[in-house]
């Protein structure tokens, strides 16, 4: 039987986070940075952070030494992370729309559309 414990999942998350950080640093070091790639790694890291915080909140909810103040601080932090993720997704969507619009305009100018 396989072990589906949380330690195995956390190791996978740590590896994917480490790799995402590696890619992010590598992209930042490029002379011509690709904004969408940087944003996508930020989005991936933010999503993994949100999942980790949600898991921790779930685990501490059943803890006998439950601290309501710490829990509310964690909820506020989680809300801020979600807001950041949503803003990042919106900005990425806008950037893609701008790129598509520029591409369409260019194709119209050269007579391909």
pLDDT, tens digit, 9 for 90 and up, residues 5-17: 445 555 565 667 7
Reported as a single tens digit per residue, the pLDDT across 32-89 is 888 888 898 899 999 999 999 998 888 877 776 777 777 788 889 999 999 999 999 9
Give CA 11 to chain center in angstroms: 18
Q: What is the DSSP code (8-state) at residue 32? A: S
Q: Output the pTM of the full model.
A: 0.69
Torsion angles phi and psi, residue 32, rounded to 5: -115, 95
Classify 111 in phi/psi space as left (phi over 0), alpha (psi -120 to 50) or beta: left
């Amino acid at each position: 039987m396989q072990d589906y414990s949380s330690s195995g999942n956390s190791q996978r998350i740590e590896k994917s986070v480490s790799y995402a950080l590696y890619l992010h640093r590598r992209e930042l070091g490029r002379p011509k940075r690709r904004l969408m790639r940087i944003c996508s790694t930020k989005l991936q890291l933010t999503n993994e952070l949100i999942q980790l915080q949600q898991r921790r909140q779930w685990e501490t909810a059943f803890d006998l030494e439950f601290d309501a103040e710490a829990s509310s601080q964690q909820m506020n932090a989680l809300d801020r992370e979600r807001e950041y993720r949503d803003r990042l997704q919106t900005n990425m969507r806008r950037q893609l729309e701008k790129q598509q619009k520029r591409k369409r305009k260019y194709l119209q100018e050269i007579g391909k559309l």
